[in-house]
Structure 1
């Protein structure tokens, strides 16, 4: 049997060279999605290296998101589309393409205008300029935390300034929380489909993700209880108000059950509330039900501007010092200039006006998408950025995504959101907020419906 054997350079760190070779082979198509890598001993013999070198290389490739290890089965290629999706940024999109793959706030001229006004205000404030160029506490300046706490409380998310740490966006908050609460090798649980940033952070920290089934009411807490009976996770990550990608909302009954289970088995809860929804679409925050063991993630990225990278991490008093030490070790502090920009934006009232507009705009886009896709069982929340579309029988996500790409429409498959090694469902996520305007969104939806209505092509090529 022929196995894949790469050519490694004569010098350099061998395990890293092998990990690089795996990445190059995936990018070139030499290794296809779903292909099993050679057994470690066989590849070690072929390359004349130790088994430990191959083991480290496979682990490094998994950390990079290139492959996934399946217990008792082997190591499999995750594929080019899977690994590229989370790294993609808005600025890389083709101007002619309607990109519905990224969860971005809808474009509005008040975003760059608001930045300019905030910077102009700071320019004329000598004390603010001095503070912006000086070192500040790792938790963030007290004035900034006070402003952010008042803002969150006004949005229906009551917090105290002493509970907050300013972070470099929600993703940074996830990484801080995981590092503070779990050690390499420990188990973290999440819904079977969850935010790819959590999966990436867990891989980077060598944590073991546990897949918990979910349905229309969110994470299945009974299934989580069965996992806890075997071995409780160190923490559970959950987006209770708007699961990414399915849009499921954790029911009040399940919120209570999750909190009870956390206290019974002594695990932490990391609650992601970065995607803001108005009060009528939210449930009771988990940090209000279990304040002593819940870390709450919030951010200005989905409301004001993602490029400023200002988020907030609400934390119990018991781990304030631990999180502060991590912040110092990583970057000492969040740049105070960025926090000052956000706080002036909020204090001027411009952030509130922008949010009011955004809620109306997203609701209009969701209604538009529902009109196009109602007969296909699409799921979403009226003020959420994305929709979840289970595909009709016989329609494969990979083929549909390729056809859409050829027609200048970009969406995301279920693959990047999958926890563990279970097959991804045949479904796609569409971010209605990301289109330049409603006309562009309508064109993309019209293209999607046209393809869904077309008869499926036969997979048979020969007899």
Structure 2
């Protein structure tokens, strides 16, 4: 009997390629609703991969809603999608009643739209300013904008000189600019073994070899990094020292000094990401203060004002500024001055500071609420962070739990999107507490999560 074989055109991990191939086969009618997928061992032999790779691929396809595992029978294409176009869960808009904790967003507040509206109206009512806002600008941004953004960052406890700033189209753009300017295809870069998916995607686009460093409770395992440097130093190390995304691990002061010394000793570039905002009291000494000559620092309005603004900053050592500016010109010529002007007017008023003060207090309350409801499961996170890391009890699989939660009206993220390399993902969830529309909605979502965790006999992973 001829079995269905996926076409693995995926550049990333093989298990993700299997999941994408299943989705494509369902969309194209190659796999029909109710059809059984090949046994995992048989498919593994046919593809020349491990059984574990196929198992993870099937689990990812199930998480996305394409297939379902039936106890003692196998894995089948789901047949309950009649009248609904197949689509990945990540691409769907939240339906009514679904509490989405999968995206790291600022908590909703009416002041966001009101403040932006006032800033835009102020530009529209000033013809001279409006004309400047739609004219061509220098690649690094106009000096007045960089001065205002530097002043705002100083108020946030991130002092920097305006001349060192380059205005970007958000934090992701800052990552791409740094990789384009500092690396060449085929070179090695290092990051935490669990890290921001945007870095993983940018490294793949730049054809770089991304190496995952083990994580400890204090962030990146610097012993492992030092062993790597002794063999063949990477070109660049990407790090989120104040809170790893997704686990929330924080580098201590001694580790920061050691990392700066390692960078100098082995001639490494450091790419420090500070987009996941924390109040100053919860941050450590910035790497770009400890090793300013070899560190680029990324910041953005995304987690502070609004994600859709797509305005950020990149702190760049003087010798690199022309190179980074050239990379920006090659990509987009400049950042939209209209949006930069709107952001600058927003942060120059007291409304930005008031909004951030409210947000900090709100996130503190949401963290306390989540820690209280999930106390039995040892959640991890910083006191005023947007995200919470929830390791699952032994024997529970994140993919199946996500499926259960989705059916009960809660959306979250597993560790899979954050994994560097081919190491098995830990069984855990990242919960974006800030994304819930209210504390009341967050409390409902947390109750649903606790209920699912406390009902092991009814969950599919117990009988697989």
Confirm whether residue 350 of structure 1 aligns to residue 351 of structure 2: yes
Q: Flag the 1:418–1:360 CA change in 2: closer, same or farther, 3 A.
A: same
Aligned to 1:421: 422
Aligned to 1:261: 262
Asked if 2 retains the 8 angstrom alpha-carbon contact of 1:187 and 1:207, the reply is yes
Query: Cα deviations across residues 278-304 of structure 1 (Å, max 9, x unaligned)?
Result: 111100000000000000000011111
Confirm whether residue 135 of structure 1 aligns to residue 108 of structure 2: no
Classify the secondary structure of the residue corresponding to 1:387. Answer: strand
Confirm whether residue 215 of structure 1 aligns to residue 216 of structure 2: yes
Aligned to 1:157: 158
Q: How many Å separate the matches in 2 of 1:338 and 1:83?
A: 35
Aligned to 2:369: 368
Classify the secondary structure of the residue corresponding to 2:270. Answer: strand
Aligned to 1:453: 454
Classify the secondary structure of the residue corresponding to 2:158. Answer: coil
| Residues 217-366 of structure 1: pairs in structure 2 closer than 5 A | 217-366=218-367
Q: How many Å separate the matches in 2 of 1:37 and 1:92?
A: 38
Q: How many Å separate the matches in 2 of 1:22 and 1:452?
A: 26
Aligned to 1:405: 406
Q: How many Å separate the matches in 1 of 2:340 and 2:3?
A: 53
Query: Cα deviations across residues 97-138 of structure 1 (Å, max 9, x unaligned)?
Result: 000000000000011111110011111222211111210000
CA shift, 1:95, in A, is 2.8
Aligned to 1:387: 388
Q: How many Å separate the matches in 2 of 1:461 and 1:221?
A: 40
Q: How many Å separate the matches in 2 of 1:460 and 1:239?
A: 36
Query: Cα deviations across residues 218-267 of structure 1 (Å, max 9, x unaligned)?
Result: 00101100111111101000000010000000111111111111111111
Structure 1 runs, 4 residues or longer, greater than 6 Å off: 19-22, 31-35, 37-40, 81-87
Q: Flag the 1:20–1:36 CA change in 2: closer, same or farther, 3 A.
A: closer
Q: How many Å separate the matches in 1 of 2:360 and 2:462?
A: 47
List alignment gaps of at least 5 residues for structure 1: 8-14, 41-68
Asked if 1 retains the 8 angstrom alpha-carbon contact of 2:248 and 2:388, the reply is yes
Q: Flag the 1:300–1:233 CA change in 2: closer, same or farther, 3 A.
A: same
Question: After alignment, is 364-373 or 76-85 more displaced?
Answer: 76-85
Q: How many Å separate the matches in 1 of 2:339 and 2:107?
A: 21
CA shift, 1:83, in A, is 9.3
Query: Cα deviations across residues 346-383 of structure 1 (Å, max 9, x unaligned)?
Result: 11111101000000001000000011011211001111
Q: Flag the 1:376–1:39 CA change in 2: closer, same or farther, 3 A.
A: closer
Classify the secondary structure of the residue corresponding to 1:424. Answer: coil
Asked if 2 retains the 8 angstrom alpha-carbon contact of 1:115 and 1:345, the reply is yes
Q: How many Å separate the matches in 2 of 1:198 and 1:36?
A: 30
Aligned to 1:103: 104
Classify the secondary structure of the residue corresponding to 1:379. Answer: coil
Count of aligned positions: 422
Aligned to 1:430: 431
Asked if 2 retains the 8 angstrom alpha-carbon contact of 1:192 and 1:418, the reply is yes
Classify the secondary structure of the residue corresponding to 1:283. Answer: coil
Query: Cα deviations across residues 28-81 of structure 1 (Å, max 9, x unaligned)?
Result: 4668999769669xxxxxxxxxxxxxxxxxxxxxxxxxxxx99xx99x959458
Classify the secondary structure of the residue corresponding to 1:296. Answer: strand
Asked if 2 retains the 8 angstrom alpha-carbon contact of 1:86 and 1:416, the reply is no
Q: How many Å separate the matches in 1 of 2:401 and 2:24?
A: 21
Aligned to 2:171: 170
Classify the secondary structure of the residue corresponding to 2:434. Answer: coil
Q: CA RMSD in A?
A: 3.1
CA shift, 1:86, in A, is 11
Q: Flag the 1:413–1:236 CA change in 2: closer, same or farther, 3 A.
A: same
Q: Flag the 1:110–1:394 CA change in 2: closer, same or farther, 3 A.
A: same
Aligned to 2:125: 124
Q: How many Å separate the matches in 2 of 1:338 and 1:37?
A: 54
CA shift, 1:153, in A, is 1.2
Asked if 2 retains the 8 angstrom alpha-carbon contact of 1:213 and 1:219, the reply is yes
CA shift, 1:340, in A, is 0.3
CA shift, 1:455, in A, is 2.6
Q: How many Å separate the matches in 2 of 1:167 and 1:287?
A: 18
TM-score normalised over the length of structure 1: 0.84
Q: How many Å separate the matches in 2 of 1:22 and 1:230?
A: 35
